[in-house]
Amino acid sequence: MPADLDLMYKKILQAAGGADNISSLGSCMTRLRFTVKDEALVNVEALRRVRDVAGYFYSGVQHQLIVGPSTAGKLAAYFNERHNFAKLETENAPAGVKLNLQDSVKKNKEAVKRKYFSNLSAVCRRIGNIFLPLIPAYIGCGLIIGITNILSKTLLSGFPNVTALLGIMGQSVFFYLMAIVGYNANKEFGGSPALGLAFAGILNAPALAQVNLFGYMLSPGKGGVLAVLVVCWVGCILEKKLRAWLKGSTEMFLTPLLTILIIGPLSLAVIQPVAGWAADGLAALTQFLLEHGGLIVGGFLGGTFLPLVMLGIHQSLIPIHQQLMDSLGVNPLFPILCMAGAGQVGAALAVWWKTKNHAFKTLIKNALPVGVLGIGEPLIYGVTLPLFKPFVAACIGGAAGGAVVAFFQVASSIPFGVSGVVLLLALANMHSIIFYACGYLTAVAVGFFCTCWLGFDDPGEGTVA
């Protein structure tokens, strides 16, 4: 692997205009991201042709190379060990950027997108920063929950202690979930992370069940993650104002004291009841739509999820997934959205079958395994979106699969995390397993045949889209 990393590093560095041209560099789960000082020095086509790069995407400020879930972090570390670039945290334009004509067109397109989606994208990015660090725990615990559900009815049916221990391991992330969300939320909103722990503790303290406030018994955990997010947001606003108003050495004592004393009663008397009402209404509405709108609602959700991923606003759904889990005990929404990835797998298979370009076949072959496992970005930006018609076919496949999954009321036993075929191990029951598989195969088949029917402009030999 080090030799491969070194080759990718050298090719990317050369295509980016050299180390002196890179101003900041970092990574997310699947992408190497960097900004440059002079856009005119960047060779986009060379970046696309780097071996093991599944796709290239330009956000208007950042250059993003889709390299896969394990390679992204290793490659970023490999770069920074040698050059110690500034950490990439925001998408603010670096000073002194000079654009060539091609990059100028791309920047103008992104400016239009930012004009209409900037506020929404900023909110989604913040939500993602709060919840995405939880994904490894969700994946590990979710798989344990799913496997335990299967084994407890089969091989381990006579071993209650074993299944009980496995159940404890599977539920472990949810035991302190609100505290972790509170910590991450306060950190993201610019407050003291430790106060986020305090806010979550106030909202979820078991002793609340014994407190009568204005004639109503309080309920620990009411409002779930929605209540925690709102309380942390309001608490951070107050904390920052207090820090600005209070001066001297007493500020370090008075700010946390006053913040907790003010936010505590406010959260229990106002924010938690309102958030609880909203959370219960959201769960009831979702359940009603899926029970009575089945095919139509499932088709709409499955068919529109890929565009949400493309715009980066799909992260706004994460609190909804968790809230459905808290309110219903299962999540009927997540399996529907997973059908979008299945439709894309079918579309990519059709492109792989029909294309005459050997380099493109290799790219698809490398991106398909992670696509089947539920990581769809390499297929989106490397295959279907550049060709466009396969992207449309993938959305149609996702709609078909979503309709099947919604009609048969499939539900997962985890809020989100694992997806693709791996979600089969974390579904609520055998009924859900069977019909999730039916929906997945439907989405793959429809995505495949729609791509064949719509066609696409095959990249010329020796080029990659």
Measured between alpha carbons, how far is residue 228 from residues 138, 153, 232, 283, 363 in Å? 19, 36, 6, 17, 43
pLDDT higher than threshold 50 for residue 102: no
Compute the distance between CA of residue 272 and CA of residue 331 in angstroms, rounded to an integer.
Answer: 22
Predicted confidence (pLDDT) per residue in 295-326, tens digit: 898 999 999 888 877 766 676 677 788 778 87
Catalytic residue (one of 28, 236, 395, 438): 28
Q: Contact, 367 vs 434, CB < 8 A?
A: no
Q: Contact, 438 vs 166, CB < 8 A?
A: no
Measured between alpha carbons, how far is residue 237 from residues 192, 196, 240, 265, 429 in Å? 11, 12, 5, 16, 44
Percent of the chain beyond pLDDT 90?
Answer: 26
Compute the distance between CA of residue 383 and CA of residue 380 in angstroms, rounded to an integer.
Answer: 6
CATH T-level topology, domain 2-99: Gyrase A; domain 2 (3.30.1360)
pLDDT higher than threshold 50 for residue 93: no
How many Cβ atoms from other residues are within 10 Å of residue 230's Cβ? Answer: 20
Q: Assess whether 28 carries a catalytic annotation.
A: yes
pLDDT higher than threshold 50 for residue 95: no
* Neighbouring residues of 402: CB distance < 8 A, sequence distance ≥ 6: 298, 299, 300, 301, 302, 303, 305, 336, 337, 339, 340, 439, 443
- Please, which pLDDT band fits residue 100 given cuts at 50, 70 and 90? very low
**Measuring CA to CA, which residue among 424, 360, 414, 384 is closest to residue 145?**
414
Predicted confidence (pLDDT) per residue in 328-386, tens digit: 888 888 999 999 999 999 999 999 998 887 777 887 887 788 788 887 777 887 788 77
Which range has highest mean pLDDT (90-94, 323-327, 398-402, 427-431)?
398-402
Compute the distance between CA of residue 394 and CA of residue 458 in angstroms, rounded to an integer.
Answer: 17
Q: Contact, 390 vs 452, CB < 8 A?
A: no
28: left (phi over 0), alpha (psi -120 to 50) or beta: beta
Compute the distance between CA of residue 333 and CA of residue 290 in angstroms, rounded to an integer.
Answer: 9
| Domain boundaries of the chain, sorted by first residue | 2-99, 133-279, 330-454
Q: Contact, 82 vs 39, CB < 8 A?
A: no
Compute the distance between CA of residue 23 and CA of residue 115 in angstroms, rounded to an integer.
Answer: 25
What's the pLDDT at 118? 52
pLDDT higher than threshold 50 for residue 103: no
* Neighbouring residues of 163: CB distance < 8 A, sequence distance ≥ 6: 148, 151, 152, 156
Measured between alpha carbons, how far is residue 9 from residues 64, 74, 81, 82 in Å? 14, 11, 11, 10
pLDDT higher than threshold 50 for residue 152: yes
